[in-house]
Amino acid sequence: MSLDGRTDRFTGDAGLYYEIAAKMEPDATLTGSDTLLMADISPDGPDLDELIDKPDGLQLLVVTDSQGRVRHWRGLQNQPYWGDIVVLCSERTPDDYLTYLRNIGS
C-alpha cells in the first residue's frame, strides 16, 4: 500500500495473499463486493454447476453485497481458500438477486 492509501497501482497475487492469510488460521475473511468484482474469476456458467470437494474447517468468506452485484459465486465457492460463503444483504437488495442467491445456495 502506498502512503496515500491507494492499492490499485500494482497487480496483486490473490493466491499468495490467501495462502499467507490461511496460515493465520482466521475464522472468516470479510470483504466487499468491489474487491470480488476485481477478482479474476469467471462468471457462473454451466461448467461451474458442481462444487469441488474441500476439507472441513476452512474459513468463511463473508461478503457485503447489498446491491446484488456479484454474480460469480460458484467460481468463488470453488476457490481453495475458504469453505462456506455468507452474503450480507439489506432491505434494499433487489428481489431477483435474493432469488438468485437462494437458487445457487441449494
Residue 60 and residue 82 in contact, taking contact as beta carbons nearer than 8 Å = yes
- Is position 81 within any domain? yes
- Is position 13 within any domain? no
Sites in the chain below the pLDDT cut of 70: 1-12, 40-51, 106
Residue 87 and residue 65 in contact, taking contact as beta carbons nearer than 8 Å = yes
**What are the tens digits of pLDDT across the range 26-56?**
899 888 888 888 776 655 544 455 667 788 8
- Is position 60 within any domain? yes
Residue partners of 75: CB distance under 8 A and separation at least 6: 41, 42, 43, 44, 48
Provide the 10 A C-beta neighbour count for residue 44: 18
pTM over cut 0.75: no
- Is position 33 within any domain? yes
Number of domains in the chain: 1
- Is position 10 within any domain? no
Chain length of the chain: 106
- Is position 55 within any domain? yes
- Is position 69 within any domain? yes
Q: Which domain holds residue 37?
A: 27-105
Burial class for 33, CB neighbours closer than 10 Å (0-12, 13-18, 19+): middle
